[in-house]
Amino acid sequence: MLRILGSPKKLCHGPTRRDFLTAAGFGALGLGASALPLRAAAAPRSFGKAKACILLYLYGSPSQLETFDPKPDAPAEVRGELGAIRSRLPGADVGELLPFTSRIMDRVAVVRSLTHPYPIHGVSYALTGVTQIDVPMELNPRDGRHWPFIGSVVDYLASGRREPADASHQSAPTNIALPFPFSSRRVGEVPRAGPYAAFLGGAYNPVWTEFRGEATVRAVKTLQQQKLDVAEPYMGISADGRFEIAGAADPSSDLTLDRLDSRRTLVEQFDQARRDLTVADAGRSRDHFRDLAYDLLHSDKVRNALDLRREPAAVRESYGLTLFGQGALAARRLVEAGSRFVSVFWDEFGLAGSAWDTHWEHYPRMKNELCPGFDRAFSGLIADLDGRGMLDDVLVLLLSEHGRTPKLQNVNGGGRDHWSRCYSAVLAGGGIARGRVVGKSDKIAGDVAERPVSPKDVLATTYHLLGIDPATTLTDRTGKPVPLVAEGSVLADALA
């Protein structure tokens, strides 16, 4: 299903561009050692530097002005009521609500010039190669125009080099996401599109966890005229909170592993009689999904990685006892267990229009609900990875779909609306330079002043660092070749 396209243009060292892309695709799939010397000679040393990636995604979009691009000299209607504090990276002050983050800024690269034309909650635009989005796509996960989530692509390409599962094969999922299936814990409106496999097939959707635990803090959430009092796990959870694989967390009491294996034997007998499926795309997708399900049900490795009680209390507290903080800690443990792409979403909870979508009560929510938990989680993850000697091998992405308006809205508690013309992201580890600022915004963080960066550039850079050439081409449902990232370029100025 993987296709490598390109015209036969000579590169400077002799091979054609087609040879180069073929080598890149086979290298990513592990299909031939003979391709590796060509890739090593032709690509920067940063290619394949990251052994794994942890994606931290702040759904709803944080304000760049109160996080990674404060403007203390801007007019009051832009600056707002919060100030900035110095960080350990000169020229990279952060918002005053991020004191722990200020101490790890010398270990990351901050991008202050992200920009694109879609100020809607387009998770798919931020995390897939799709070139255009609209509101109907955002509200329809099954819209046929969607492209695959980056984690699904990594999983799909990796599946070509996996050995078939057997009873002794216990692996961590390549593509796993926390804390619960996306857009599943809120009321109001319809399910949102998000991190799905699109035309690669449902077998390559992320493996989702479920959170089992109690929230320890309550919050009143607002959506226009609607208010909802909820127990908010992103503000605090009990110490016995844990994550389990969705769908495998509570198996029926009579489904023992012996019975599961018996069922598996019957399925394998059926497969023997239907060998034609093993060579078809549908059959391969089904086999991947089935083998993964058996792996997860048998695997102590995954259960142990998700059992945060195995961590010292001091480590857990360094991430913060919140849903996002403990999700970030679980992500580190999953990477250690062998997962290649782990996503932690700060998702809407209880009410649509929540998470980081601060149209109303912007300042109360930033102070009490959002920044404290984020500050501990993000700084805790970076410091922990670095302290364990893992940061150079693990790429960390802190992303969202857009930013917030420079000018404050005159509503209760202040408000900032959607703004995609200029916002920020943070990259760290896995081949990213430490202590670097990429791009620059204008005096009110409203437009890019220097070095515009597209979300597609971030995706291209991620593929590059994971050892996957961004020019690799997949085939969609209609047989049309589709590039992983059609409009992105590797951010050379962000690389170590």
Does residue 353 contact residue 418 with C-beta atoms inside 8 Å?
no
Token pair recorded at residue 11: 């590169």
β-sheet bridge partners, residue 394: 52
Q: Which helix (H) or strand (E) holds 76?
A: helix 76-79
- CA 127, 199, 162, 34 dihedral sign is negative
pLDDT of residue 294: 55
Residue 59 corresponds to which amino acid? Y
Per-residue pLDDT of the chain (496 residues; tens, 9 = 90+): 333 333 333 333 333 333 333 333 333 433 332 222 223 334 568 999 999 999 999 999 999 999 999 999 999 999 999 999 999 999 999 999 999 999 999 999 999 999 999 999 989 999 999 999 999 999 999 999 999 999 999 999 998 765 444 433 457 999 999 999 999 998 866 778 989 999 999 999 999 999 999 999 998 888 777 788 989 999 999 999 999 998 654 433 343 444 344 444 444 444 444 444 444 444 445 555 555 555 665 568 899 999 999 999 999 999 999 999 999 999 999 999 999 999 999 999 988 888 999 999 999 999 999 999 999 999 999 999 999 999 999 999 999 999 999 999 999 899 999 999 999 999 999 999 999 999 999 999 999 999 999 999 999 999 999 999 999 999 999 999 999 998 999 999 999 9
Helix (H, G, I), strand (E, B), or coil: what is residue 415? strand
Count of Cβ atoms closer than 10 Å to residue 13 Cβ: 9
Domains assigned to the chain: 44-494 (3.40.720)
**Residue 296 and residue 303: Cα distance in Å, rounded?**
9
Widest Cα–Cα separation across the chain: 73
**Residue 46 and residue 427: Cα distance in Å, rounded?**
14
**Residue 280 and residue 17: Cα distance in Å, rounded?**
30
Reported pTM: 0.84
**Residue 262 and residue 268: Cα distance in Å, rounded?**
10
**Residue 137 and residue 148: Cα distance in Å, rounded?**
13
If 0-12 CB within 10 Å is exposed, 13-18 middle and 19+ buried, where does residue 321 land?
Answer: buried
Does residue 86 contact residue 92 with C-beta atoms inside 8 Å?
no
Q: Which H, E and C letters describe 25-61, residue by residue? A: HHHHHCCCHHHHHHHHHHCCCCCCCCCEEEEEEECCC
Residues 6+ apart with CB under 8 A from 326: 237, 241, 243, 308, 316, 319, 320
**Residue 475 and residue 200: Cα distance in Å, rounded?**
9
C-alpha separations of 242 from 233, 248, 312, 326, 332 in Å: 12, 14, 14, 8, 14
Angle 387-388-390 from CA coordinates, rounded to 5°: 110
pLDDT of residue 86: 98
Phi, psi for residue 484 in degrees, rounded to 5: -60, -45
Closest Cα partner for 61 from 137, 134, 139, 114?
Answer: 114
